[in-house]
Amino acid sequence: MTERTRAPSRRKTRILVVDDHPLVREGLAARIAPQPDMEICGEASSVSEGLAQVKATSPDVCLIDVQLVDSHGIDLIKEIHSRFPSVKMLVVSAFDESLYAERALRAGAYGYINKRELQDNVLDALRTVIDGQRYLSPKMTQQLVGQLVGSKDSLDANPIQRLSDRELEIFQLIGHGNTTGAIARQLHLSPHTIDTHREKIKRKLDLKNAAELQRAATQWMLENG
C-alpha cells in the first residue's frame, strides 16, 4: 500500500511594505502575518530602499505610502511599474484618495486605501489586488466615472487636482517650509527648474506671489498632511 501523495500547498503571496513610519510598518506586518496565504518579505522607508528591496526580495505585491523619506511614493510606483512590471502595487496613504488615487492608478498601482480604513479593509484590498483587480472606495469609483463622462465638478471643487505629480510634490514640500534650494537638493533638480514649477503652481491655483503660495501650501499641509 503506497502512501497517498499530498497535494502541494499554494505559495504564500510575498508582500513588501514601504512606509516612512515604523509604527505603520509594524502594524501592517502584524495584520498580515497571521494570514495563511500572505507573508511579509521586507520593509523599506524610502524610494531607494524600496527599489533595493524589490530587487532583493522579489515581492508579489508592494504596499506603498505616498510620502516617503527621500521622495514621493508616486515616483516609486512609476519606477517599479517600469522596471518590475509583474509586481502589483497598493497605495496606503493618509491623504484623501480624491487627490491621489487617480495619480496612483496612472502611475501603475492597482488600488488605493486610506490609512483610516487599514484595520477593517486592508486584507480585502490586498486580496483584490492579488487577484489582479482594482481596489478603490465606492466614492472614488463614482468620482472617476464622473470624470470619464466629462464631469468637471471635481476640478472646480479642488483646484489642487490641476497640479501635475511633480508640482504637487513641490507644493507639499513648500508647505513643509522648504526653500527652493532645499527642494532642488532633495529632488535632484536645479533651482531654476523648481522656480519654473513654482510659477506653474501659482498660475494653476490663481496665486499672485510667493507669499500667497507659501500660505496656501502651509494651510493645505495643515489640513491634509
Q: Exposure string (b/e) for 57-69, b if CB count within 10 Å is 16 or more? A: eebbbbbbbbbbe
pLDDT of residue 59: 97
Q: State the residue for C-alpha cell 472646480.
A: 156
Which CATH number describes the domain made up of 158-224?
1.10.10.10
Give the domain ranges of the chain. Answer: 13-146, 158-224
For 67, the grid coordinates are 510620502
Say which residues have a Cβ less than 8 Å from residue 31's Cβ, sequence separation at least 6. Answer: 118, 119, 122, 123
For 58, the grid coordinates are 522579489
CATH 3.30.70.1520 for domain 13-146, yes or no, is no
* Per-residue pLDDT reduced to its tens digit, 36-59: 999 999 999 999 999 999 999 999
Report the C-alpha gap between 41 and 57 in whole angstroms: 6
* Per-residue pLDDT reduced to its tens digit, 123-164: 999 999 999 999 987 677 666 665 555 555 555 557 888 898
Q: Exposure string (b/e) for 84-109, b if CB count within 10 Å is 16 or more? A: beebbbbbbbebebbbbbbbbbebbb
pLDDT of residue 3: 37
Is-same-fold flag (13-146; 158-224)? no
pTM: 0.73
pLDDT of residue 101: 86
> Which neighbouring-strand residues pair with 40?
15
Low-confidence ranges of the chain (pLDDT < 50): 1-9
Q: At what angle do helices 138-148 and 97-107 cross, to 10 degrees?
A: 70
How far, in Å, are 29, 115, 125, 160 from residue 120 at the CA level? Answer: 15, 10, 10, 29
